[in-house]
Amino acid sequence: MTRYKVQSHRALFDEMKAVARGERPASADAAMPSVESAEVLLRLLTRENRELLRMIRDQKPESVADLARMSHRAQSNLLRTLNKLEAFGLIEMRASGSRRMPVSKVKRLSVKIDPFSYNDRLEIA
């Protein structure tokens, strides 16, 4: 399971500076990947992108071109979306000869939101 810390860029920068100056020790979750907000993930999981994830999982396209045909999306547009999905760890782009093949990496997502602060957590299984 991959966990992401939700932290603004400013808060991350301030934390890194304080640690570098020796004002405080690095937090236990300092090495955890972070995103600026849970909203970033939620904006990525549009109906169309969730349909893409389903196609990748169920139909197992052998290339980006195959997925473009299945989804009726332009390959250039699709590649941008796939890069974002890969950056979040939702898919993996595997080399298959000269092709790149999208492969689903996720079975479940959990978003834990603290309504009183920005201490949210994303868990990807």
Establish if 29 belongs to a structural domain. Answer: no
Specify the pLDDT at position 8. 67
Specify the pLDDT at position 4. 64
Specify the pLDDT at position 2. 61
Q: What domain range is 93 assigned to?
A: 36-124
Specify the pLDDT at position 35. 66
Establish if 16 belongs to a structural domain. Answer: no
Specify the pLDDT at position 44. 87
CATH number of the domain to which 111 belongs:
1.10.10.10
d(CA 46, CA 60): 20
Specify the pLDDT at position 23. 92
Residues of the chain with pLDDT under 50: none
Radius of gyration of the chain (CA): 17
Specify the pLDDT at position 42. 83
AA letter at 19: V
Please give the tally of structural domains in the chain: 1
